[in-house]
Structure 1
Amino acid sequence: MIGYVLKRLGLALLVALAVSAIAFFLLRLSGDAATAIAGEGARQEDIELIRKTYGLDRPLVVQYVEWLWQTLRGDFGTSLYFKTPVSALVLDKLPTTIVLGLTSLGFALLVSIPLGVLAAVYANSWIDRLALAIAVVGQALPNFFFALILVMFFSITLRWLPVSGSDSWAHFVMPTIALGYYVAPAFMRLVRAGMIEVLSADYIRTARAKGLPARSVIFKHALRNALVPVVALTAVQLGFLLGGSVVVETIFALDGLGYLAYQSITYKDFPVMQVVVLLLSVLYVLLTLLADVANAWLDPRIRVA
């Protein structure tokens, strides 16, 4: 088990390094930071002076190596637009994104597990078809469009919830629903498939033959085994929620990493963009690593393979 974990950890570090390099070069090729800092109407002499001051006149490989070395030492640089240390800026926004990711994951599980169980227990019935239809709509409907529908209904029409901000729990209700509903179908289909397989197993038939109540058979015996793959998927989906919150945070103006990423892209704030991309990538890689370890712990066949 230790050897398997070390192997996966080494692979995760290589993936994080590759992502940092790709993101660095793509961000630098997306525009000229010196021109963005100088502003419209700036003289060419001023742009060249800014480029030299910030070291933007050096080869990209040299810039990346220097940035990587500073990052490994904990120096993430200074924001070109906000004029504050990037580390302080990111740490200030990170809790909002984590709260949104966790609440969205909780909402997805709260919706998908009961639907998956009902769809499996009443397979091929109208309940099953209704649950599958809800899953298809959730996966096909873009989260930004669903977010706008929520705003129009709950904020403009009913005036129940605030449109934007992150000052109270009410500000997280619509973003949680918009983001959580997008990942709920994956859980629902997985629970449904697992429950259908488990309900046809011999030990379930034995439990029913002993006269155990249907509720006990479903929730105590069947669901516990059907939820094993859901544990591993949860870590992966949490990483997706943390990294995929940019659009939702921007729509609702939540003061998190996603909205910060949008602002840094708008103002071509390369130091902030680079750290945000790196942080979200590392979080996703670590959560994927945890999912792999959980799979190996739950299924010894993976460790043997």
Structure 2
Amino acid sequence: MSTSTLTARIAGARPGPWTAFLLRRTGRLGVSLAALVTASFAMIHFVPGDPVRGALGIAATPEAVATREHALGLDRSLPSQYRHFVTGLFHGDLGESITTRMPVSDLIGERLPATMEIALAAFVLVMLVAIPLGMAAAVYTRNGRRRRGELAFIGTTGAISAIPEFLLAVGLTSVFAVSLGWFPVALRDGPDSYVLPVLALSIAPIASLARIVRVEALRVFEADYMRTARAKRLPARLVYLRHALPNLLTSSLTLGGLLLGGLLAGTVLVENVFAWPGLGMTIVQAIIQKDYPLVQGVVLVYGAAALLINFAVDCAVALADPKSTIRGS
């Protein structure tokens, strides 16, 4: 077999652009997950003080502390603990809570749905409101028109996007729950109880994404295909919905996926304002109680969720824009 023939066969065996893209992204995801697992394992060993002593209290006897450390495997060598931790992850075992002595995976399984409910509801609300709002603002201020309206939009959305979720949650509670009594103050009890937590999570991201969508829409409006569509005397509604909106969705999808990771992080503060029984409230209680295995498990879940969301967004963008799989992104 000639060298040229062998080279041609090897070249023909190379994976296609989509397969290569998936291999790259999966490899990066694997490395990131490995780093996350190692960091979450190291967290419990580099925190100041004895976590078992801190959880059991200063009145606990040395025998009780030693017994609990043995039960948790903390008296083993670090390499042995790490192997046990990683092996447990493959079997869904995140260890045991120091304070409740329940499996961490069971505690997370009980609280995770409540967190995902408000995070996903906030994400849907952000996408449904921010994209039309940003596009409408771009249409209203296109070609430098209505300068005052543009400044008002930029100033208002900039101010709203800078408000922390915690302050929004407190403000919404004071006005709509305490003063007006329209919604429950706290707890997860009925559809009404979702309104204020979801709003507290979504208001600032709506303002942030709407600003970005407006800028992207103004760029899209100047594209050649938009000039062609307008030259055909198509109705404005068709020009914006059929030609501009699909080209905005790719960038909006990417930003929306990143926002979803931020929304998950924002649940930590919002859940504690509304006494929402999710992972955010769980991790704060675990930190107060010095229940480091539970903190470790929740941090691992939050981190893995953020990485998987970014992976899913990359794949979705690649499907929407196949050229991105060829550019080696």
TM value normalised by structure 1? 0.92
Query: Could you tell which deviates more after superposition, 28-37 or 93-102?
Result: 28-37
**How large is the RMSD of aligned CA atoms in angstroms?**
1.9
- Structure 1 equivalent of residue 152 of structure 2: 130
From 11, 17, 36, the equivalent of 2:34 is 17
**Distance between the aligned counterparts of 2:325 and 2:230, measured in 1?**
34
Deviates more, 1:154-163 or 1:24-33: 24-33
- Structure number with greater Rg is 2
Q: Residues 1-305 of structure 1: matches in 2 within 5 Å?
A: 1-30=18-47, 31-123=49-141, 124=144, 125-305=147-327
For the 8 Å contact 1:104–1:176, the answer to whether it is kept is: yes
Distance across 2 between alignment mates of 1:110 and 1:104: 10
Q: CA deviation at 1:152?
A: 0.8
One-letter amino acid of the structure 1 residue matched with residue 107 of structure 2: L
CA contact under 8 A between 1:116 and 1:131: conserved in structure 2? Answer: no
Residue 236 of structure 1, CA deviation? 2.3
Distance 2:265 2:282 in 1: 12
Which residue identity lines up with residue 192 of structure 1 in the other structure? Answer: R
Change (3 A) 1:227 1:142: same
Q: Which amino acid aligns with 2:272?
A: T
How far apart are 1:38 and its partner, in Å? 2.3
> How many pairs were matched up?
305
Letter in 2 for 1:20: V
C-alpha separation between the residues in 2 aligned to 1:89 and 1:148? 27
CA shift, 1:45, in A, is: 4.3
Contact (CA 8 Å) 2:52, 2:98: kept in 1 or not? no
Cα drift, residue 93 of structure 1: 1.1
> Aligned with 1:244: secondary structure?
helix
Contact 1:191 / 1:227 at 8 angstroms: preserved in 2? no
* Cα distance change, pair 105–247 in 1 and its aligned pair in 2 (3 A): same
State the secondary structure of the residue aligned to 1:253.
Answer: coil
How far apart are 1:293 and its partner, in Å? 1.7
Q: What SS does structure 1 have at the residue aligned with 2:55?
A: helix
Looking at structure 2, the residues matched to 79 and 53 of structure 1 have their Cα atoms a distance apart, in angstroms, of 11
Q: C-alpha distance in 2, partners of 1:130/1:166?
A: 37
Flag the 1:119–1:158 CA change in 2: closer, same or farther, 3 A.
Answer: same
User: Structure 2: which amino acid aligns with 1:180?
Assistant: S
Q: Which runs of 4+ in 1 moved over 6 A?
A: none
Contact 2:43–2:296 under 8 Å retained in 1: no
CA distance in 1, matches of 2:64, 2:125: 51
Moved more, 55-64 or 167-176: 55-64
Using the TM superposition, give the Cα deviation of residue 12 of structure 1 relative to its aligned residue in structure 2, in angstroms: 0.5
Looking at structure 2, the residues matched to 227 and 49 of structure 1 have their Cα atoms a distance apart, in angstroms, of: 57
Segment drifting more, 21-30 vs 66-75: 21-30
- Summarize the Cα distance change of 1:6–1:136 in structure 2 as closer, same or farther, 3 Å threshold: same
When the two structures are superposed, what TM-score results if normalisation uses the length of structure 2?
0.86
Secondary structure at the counterpart of residue 70 of structure 1:
helix
Cα contact 2:187–2:277 (8 A) shared by 1:
yes
What's the CA shift string for 1:162-188, capped at 9, x where partnerless?
111012121111111111123223421
In 1: Cα distance, 2:125 partner to 2:44 partner: 34
Contact 1:38 1:50 in 2 (8 A): no
Asked if the contact 1:16–1:285 (Cα under 8 Å) also holds between the matched residues in 2, the reply is yes
Residues 1:42 and 1:29: Cα distance change in structure 2 (over 3 Å)? same
Deviations 1:240-288 (A, max 9, x none): 2223311111111111111111121121222222221111211111111
Q: Percent identity?
A: 35
The alpha-carbon deviation at position 144 of structure 1 amounts to: 0.4
Encode CA deviations 1:201-242: one digit per residue, 9 max, x unaligned: 222223223322222222222122122211222222222222
